[in-house]
Amino acid sequence: MPVQENRPKIITTAQKSKQSGDLKEISIDELSKHSNEDDCWVAIFGYVYDLTSFAEEHPAGAESIYKLGGKDGTEAFQSVHNEGMMEDFQEVLIGKLV
């Protein structure tokens, strides 16, 4: 029988901000305007991040970020990362996707 671990659920700063209503609301239309190498916003798990500066540092290459610019990149992100990783990107969190 597998051992059940009593791990606390990770609550990111973004989720805390969402709960308190502090984040800017960003429409899909607004998100789509930020879709190039000089201005690259990506929605992940319902939150919008400005990944422009990070793209060149991304271990898998900048192109994998740029192709998600202006879009919801949750599915692509989830295929290789976990949600808790976004805690490292709170400085570039812009708002929540509405």
CATH code at 57?
3.10.120.10
Asked if the structure places residue 93 within a domain, the reply is yes
* Mean per-residue pLDDT, 64-87: 90
- Which domain range does residue 65 map to? 25-97
CB 81 within 8 A of CB 42: no
More confident residue, 7 or 88: 88
The number of folded domains in the chain is 1
Asked if the structure places residue 86 within a domain, the reply is yes
* Mean per-residue pLDDT, 74-94: 88
Name the band, by pLDDT with cuts 50, 70 and 90, for residue 59.
Answer: confident
> Coil, helix or strand for 48?
strand
3-state class percentages of the chain: helix first, strand second, coil last, to nearest 5: 35, 20, 40
The predicted pLDDT at position 44 comes to 95
Asked if the structure places residue 38 within a domain, the reply is yes
The predicted pLDDT at position 21 comes to 59
The predicted pLDDT at position 29 comes to 98
Nearest CA among 23, 15, 14, 10 for reference residue 82:
10
Asked if the structure places residue 17 within a domain, the reply is no
The predicted pLDDT at position 93 comes to 96
Buried-exposed string 44-76: b where 16+ CB fall within 10 A, e elsewhere? bbebbbbbbebbeeeeeebeebbebbbbbbbeb
| pLDDT at 2 exceeding the cut of 80 | no
More confident residue, 29 or 82: 29
Asked if the structure places residue 2 within a domain, the reply is no
Nearest CA among 58, 56, 52, 67 for reference residue 85:
58
Give me the half-sphere count of Cα atoms (radius 13 Å) on the Cβ side of residue 54. 19
